[in-house]
Amino acid sequence: MNETPATKVTANELLKENGPTLAGTVASTLADPQANHFSEDDVQLLKFHGVYQQDDRDLRKQGKKYIMMIRGRIPGGVMTPKQWCVFDDLASQYGNNTLRITTRQSIQFHGVVKSGLRALIKKINESLLSTLAACGDVNRNVLAPPTPAYTSARQQVFEDCVRVAGALRPQTRAYHAIWIDGVQLNLDDPANKDFTDPLYGKTYLPRKLKIAFVIPPVNDLDVFTNCLGFIAIVENNQRIGYNLAVGGGMGRSHGNEQTYPRLADVIGFFTPDKLIEVAKAVLTIHRDFGNRADRKRARLKYVVAERGVEFMRDEVNKRAGIMLEPAKPYKFTTTSDLYGWYKAVDEKWFLTLFVGMGRVKDAQKTALRQIAEKFSGIEFRLSANQNVILANVSDADKTGINAVLAQHGVKTENQASVLHAASMACPALPTCGLALAESERMLPGLIDRIEKLCAEAGLAGQEIIIRSTGCPNGCSRPYMAEIAFVGKAPGRYQVWLGGDTSGTRLNRVWKDMVKDADIENELRPVLARYAKERNNGERFGDWVERVLWKEQPAAAN
């Protein structure tokens, strides 16, 4: 199946080949009250079930305190009020009493100990959501446009998102056995002993696959950062088909020039009746041609980069039984969410609430819980910018929702300064084992400092997209930002500059290593120059591209 010329494969590949049911010894470890963590092999298999084993790195001097991060699989980021209440309860009962909105329209629970793990996942499944394939070498949570403001075609696109998510779900019975029935999968059963997933095969994908649907002109999902992107073409409020984009991805490794962020290529147009065939075609191309010898180069983007767009187009045509048409015209203008109250095309209201660093907590958490309990007809939608959207709101419900929010001091207008509202960060320390530096706990204070720099330069109120990540893997999509901070060591960051507001241009390394305390000194002269040299209405990232990179071409990736 895999056509990588190297004969040696990674340990993960051997683990999947020897245990394609993904069961491992997870159930027996769960049942052992003396065990406070899982084996290294089971840690890898748990990812397919939506679970990461971590430890609280703030407490390492006292010995490892094992905790779990659990991620929901929520197609298109849409939840009912009842489902929101379930997740809220689980965060309070088993987690750290916060709900972490992810950049993939999901919710993560942090701080869960092993004894609460099965109960949490079982209750998620009882709410008719899941954690299966929220992580692991499979298709992850599929994204869909959350904002209902400008076209009724959004519902069609959301339904397509749900269809793709269902069609690409792995079929192992281990998930149900472990988390619902609470038993170890019987590997002597021939159906399990000889199990091969009908779509993924025995060894699944070389690495994860990320998929997003988007409706121009709004690119609020950063579609080109995905392995597979469906760009909806809408005419008369009907989606007539999709432009197909392949080969995007953010992950890279410090010091390894063979790894890099990449934007997807648009390779053609197809009609909606071929959607599942096209999705499966791209997935199986990744399955068959992805690098299984080096996980750092195992993403689909490297297949596209190395084999080329024509190869991808030919393979998709062959595997999907279609002939891709030339891509249809489209244009993106923004990646931002619409904060505050707006009316959708169906005359219902929706409210986008800013969630600082994606962490729903304290008064905001309490207010959203009360709204979910009182207003059963609304919809909770998670944005890829880590915010919460309350949709399908009637005039009467709008008044009631405003009252609840006001009672708890949650703003609906002027919710955050422009820099904070345009920022994102990954969780990083203390929970993520990959983090090299702070991110979520660092960025709000750093933005406060940058706001002072902007005020000095006469740029107060000027939006600049700022993102940070604790390591180079890029979970907060830093390589699309106008300013990005990528953790390189404790208190030290790479600084990247030059992304754009439409999500169509990568930024570049500006400084390879800057101490946190030196960031103002490094940025001050650049912001001052931008204030003086920018064209009318020119954004910071566009000025960097037009002026700064022409002076420093060596800084380009």
Q: Which active-site residues does the annotation give?
A: 71, 140, 208, 210, 426, 432, 471, 475
Residues 6 or more apart whose CB falls under 8 angstroms from that of 278 comprise 244, 270, 316, 320, 322
Q: Concatenated DSSP letters for 206-254? A: SS-B-EEEEBTTB-TT-GGGSSEEEEEEEETTEEEEEEEEE--B---BT
Packed helices 275-289 and 153-167: angle between N→C axes, nearest 10 degrees: 40
Residue 493 tokens read as 């960051």
Residues 6 or more apart whose CB falls under 8 angstroms from that of 254 comprise 472, 488, 494
**How many Cα atoms within 13 Å fall on the side-chain side of residue 320?**
26
List beta partners, residue 497. Answer: 483, 508
Biggest CA–CA distance in the chain, Å, is: 73
Q: Do 509 and 496 contact (CB within 8 A), yes or no?
A: yes
Residues 6 or more apart whose CB falls under 8 angstroms from that of 508 comprise 496, 497, 498, 549, 555, 556, 557
Q: Do 227 and 299 contact (CB within 8 A), yes or no?
A: yes
Could you identify the residue written with the tokens 């101490």?
515
* 416/340 Cα distance (integer angstroms): 11
| Coil/strand/helix, residue 274 | helix
Residue 72 tokens read as 């929901």
* 339/413 Cα distance (integer angstroms): 8
